[in-house]
Structures are given as structure tokens and as C-alpha cells.
Amino acid sequence: MLIDKGILSKTMSLIVSPHGLTDYIHAKKFGYLQQLYKINLATVTCGELIGYFHCDYILHTVFLLSSIVHFRNDMPEITIFNVDKRRTQYILSALFVLSLYKIPIELFVIYMVFIHTPNHYKMSWFYIKDNLKETLILVLGFGFALLNLDYLNNLSFPIIYFIQGIIISHIIYQEIFVFDNFDKKKLKL
């Protein structure tokens, strides 16, 4: 291990984990709190049920696919061999996510701290700028709470399923309500 596990845990707890709380700020500002709560409840419940019935492969597959969708926002917008920029972002994101099985965890943490999380705040600026105080209180408060729980050193499978469910719900909410990639009326949320 290149970096001490305690430092990795604290970095993820304080900086990376709380960034999804911007979903709450967005939902509150645009009137989607009920939909956010439904998505969170559904994904966490499904994650726990899938884990309970020992169908981890389903949850892990959904987690990997949603990660590819989510991380595409961090990929450069380039055209290669006449392939659409958005499709290229998906391809690069898929290659990145699949490489996570081979690269050291420290490199993933560096990516999350210095690329993904800052990019998330940059893309979220249009709705957090008007609620900066509340955003800072939520993000820092949650980050310090997680720091004190030190949950990454005490992971069990129900906790892992819960965390995966929360991350998947963050991605679903972002795609539907922040990036507006789906017709909300058809989804009936």
C-alpha cells in the first residue's frame, strides 16, 4: 500500500463521501425532495434485499454500470474515429471503471479527491451558489461525522450494500433531475 489506510479512510470520509449531499440542496431548491427520498429509499432497500438473498453480483453489476454512467462526466469531450463525444466519454469511463480492478486503491482515491469531487462541485455550482452556507454546513458536518465514525475501517456487508445503494441513488438522482437525461413524467417519480 502506497499510502496509509488511515489516511485513505479519512480522506474519503472528509472530502469524497459528503459530495452527494448536493443532491439534497438541488432537490430542495427545485422541489424534488419527495423524489430524492423515494430514490434513496428504493435503492438502499433493493441493495439490502439483494445482499440478504446473496445476489451480490446483481448489486455489483448495477453499481459498476452506474459508476460508468456517473464518471463519464469526468472524461474529456473528444471525438475519436468519428465517434460522438458523449459516446467517447462512456467508452473512456468504462475503461477507467474496469481498470479499477488492477490499479492501486490510492490512485482511485487521488482521482476521487482531485478530479471527481471538484468536478462535481463545478457542475453543481449553478444550484449550490445560492445555498452556499447550507451546502458547507451539510458537507462539512457530514464529512466530520464520517471522519469520527471511521466507517471505512469497519465495513461489513450490510454496510457495503447500504453504501452502494446510496451511491447508486446519487447517480440516479443526478441523471434524472440534475442532468435531465430522462423524462420525469414517464418515470412517474
pLDDT digits (tens, 9 = 90+) for 101-145: 999 888 898 999 999 999 999 999 999 999 999 999 999 998 888
The pTM for the full model equals: 0.88
Identify which of 189, 157, 174, 77 has the alpha carbon closest to the alpha carbon of residue 121. Answer: 174
Q: DSSP secondary-structure letter at 115?
A: I
Number of domains observed in the structure of the chain? 1
The reply to whether 186 falls in a domain is no
The reply to whether 83 falls in a domain is yes
The reply to whether 189 falls in a domain is no
Q: Give the domain extent around 148.
A: 5-179
Half-sphere exposure of 67 (CA within 13 A, CB side): 17
H or E stretch at 90: helix 85-99
Give per-10-residue mean pLDDT for the chain (189 aa): 72 87 95 96 94 91 96 90 88 95 89 94 94 93 80 69 93 93 68
User: Environment class of residue 132 by beta-carbon count within 10 Å: exposed (0-12), middle (13-18) or buried (19+)?
Assistant: exposed
